[in-house]
Amino acid sequence: MDEAAERWDVFCRVVDNYGDVGVAWRLARQLAREHGKRVRLWVDDLTVLAKLRPEIDPAYDIASLEGVEVLRLREPFDVEGVADVVVETFGCDPPEAYVLAMAACPARPRWINLEYLSAEEWVEGSHALPSPNPRLPLTKHYFFPGFTARTGGLLREGDLLARRDAFQRDAPAQAAFWKALVGRAPPDGAMKVSLFGYAGAPFDSLVRASAHHPGPLWIVAPEGAAATVLRARVAATPASIRQNDQDGGKRRETAIFTVPFLPQDRYDELLWACDVNFVRGEDSFVRAQWAGRPFVWNIYPTDDGAHWVKLSAFLARYTAALDRAHAAAVTTLWEAWNRPAGESGDKPGPGMSAAWPGFLARLDDLKGHALDWSGALAVRRDLTAELVDFADNVLK
Ligand code: TRH
């Protein structure tokens, strides 16, 4: 550890699920590994980080992982030094005692709020704006991830695409991955689909709509809402049919695998190994784009319906280079996937039965598009590099 290196404190409070800490961990690791920063990552719920990084034992308040000091964020907070740069993720506010200590520093730390990702146009106008503290001599700056040059970009490790390409070119590595995950490699020509979504997504309808796929189709769901629905479905399927499902898809049936929640880096491999990825929230949504494979986004639903605007904004960008029929196939499936299930649970999905085969029928072209999309995004500097540049050259 370089004692002279710039100190960064990254704060994370887990509001729900995995994305808050998923993003905070990725950022902290990259700051340490690729930018040589001395990084402390403060997380209020280490059990969630432990799901993504099983090396973390949530029984302990402190751990060291990949050059990052991981600490439990608890209140009252004992301030042990203030960093040069302070990042709060998703407006989570550092503890009051820490903020007071920031204000008391002769050289005020640079304070950044890393916001949520959106493809909406207003993001460009809000990115990098200052927000002076009403009580203290401190200014916090908003930093918005995004898809355009006038936003903060997307998290992407320096070697990510090279590792992806190497894995996707390496058939034995993929076979070994599948064997370790589900006990065998998929049959030739199998369509592999990963499934991660929110409770209420029409998982059951997806399986039903897969039945007519002309070839073996594997659906793989890490532990969570999708796995719960699929497990119940498998349990309710007569044993004779289940036997067919388990034969590796040779008889063209859909094979369903529920697997444990994967460590975060292994989840990337699942995305790289699949032909279509159903993802959700924020971080898996971005990882699916870096996988360079067609994907379906289950957006985090909000009561006021604002998520539909966010979904449309992304779809408009993502489908802009597609012809009308391909764009419609993507949009129709994404809208069907995000439509809430009926009151009584996962009813036959409005539209999934047509939308999914329509999407699969265009998969070859959509694969090319997904790769082009990730290539176009990768031309931009990644979010961590943008953030370091912002801290060094704008805030200093
Ligand atoms: O878990 P999410 O729904 O997290 C969220 C919430 O929507 C939250 O409200 C929002 O604030 C936040 O995102 C930003 O979905 P997300 O963002 O995709 O995060 C999931 C993380 O879990 C991501 O880092 C990938 C990781 N993951 C694994 O490590 N292993 C797995 O097996 C799976 C399925 C996911």
Phi, psi dihedral angles at 393 (to 5 degrees) = -110, -15
Distance, CA of 82 to CA of 163 (rounded, Å) = 36
Distance, CA of 389 to CA of 376 (rounded, Å) = 21
Please, what's the largest Cα pairwise distance for the chain?
Answer: 74
**Residue 282 known to be catalytic:** yes
Q: Is the CB of 145 under 6 A from ligand 1?
A: no
Q: Is the CB of 282 under 6 A from ligand 1?
A: yes
Nearest to 30 by CA among 99, 87, 79: 87
* Ligand 1 midpoint to CA 282 (Å): 7
Distance, CA of 149 to CA of 329 (rounded, Å) = 28
Beta-carbon contacts of 238 under 8 Å, excluding residues fewer than 6 positions away, are none
Q: Is the CB of 386 under 6 A from ligand 1?
A: no
Distance, CA of 113 to CA of 152 (rounded, Å) = 12
**Residue 269 known to be catalytic:** no
191: amino acid identity, one letter: M
Q: 194 pairs with which residues across the strands?
A: 220, 277
Beta strands (DSSP E) in 102-234 are: 110-114, 130-132, 139-143, 191-195, 217-222
Q: List the catalytic residue out of 20, 88, 253, 346.
A: 20
Model confidence, pTM: 0.95
In Å, what is the CA distance from 127 to each residue of 199, 228, 275? 32, 39, 34
Question: Cβ(346)–Cβ(310) under 8 Å?
Answer: no
Beta-carbon contacts of 339 under 8 Å, excluding residues fewer than 6 positions away, are 202, 349, 350, 351
Question: Cβ(59)–Cβ(78) under 8 Å?
Answer: no
**What does each of the 396 residues of the chain score in pLDDT, given as a tens digit?**
688 999 999 999 999 999 999 999 999 999 999 999 999 999 999 999 999 999 999 999 999 999 999 999 999 999 999 999 999 999 999 999 999 999 999 999 999 999 999 999 999 999 999 999 999 999 999 999 999 999 999 999 999 999 999 999 999 999 999 999 999 999 999 999 999 999 999 999 999 999 889 999 999 999 999 999 999 988 887 665 554 455 444 555 689 999 999 999 999 999 999 999 999 999 999 999 999 999 999 999 999 999 999 999 999 999 999 999 999 999 999 999 998 654 334 444 448 999 999 999 999 999 999 999 999 999 999 999 999 999 999 898
Q: List the catalytic residue out of 44, 88, 204, 282.
A: 282
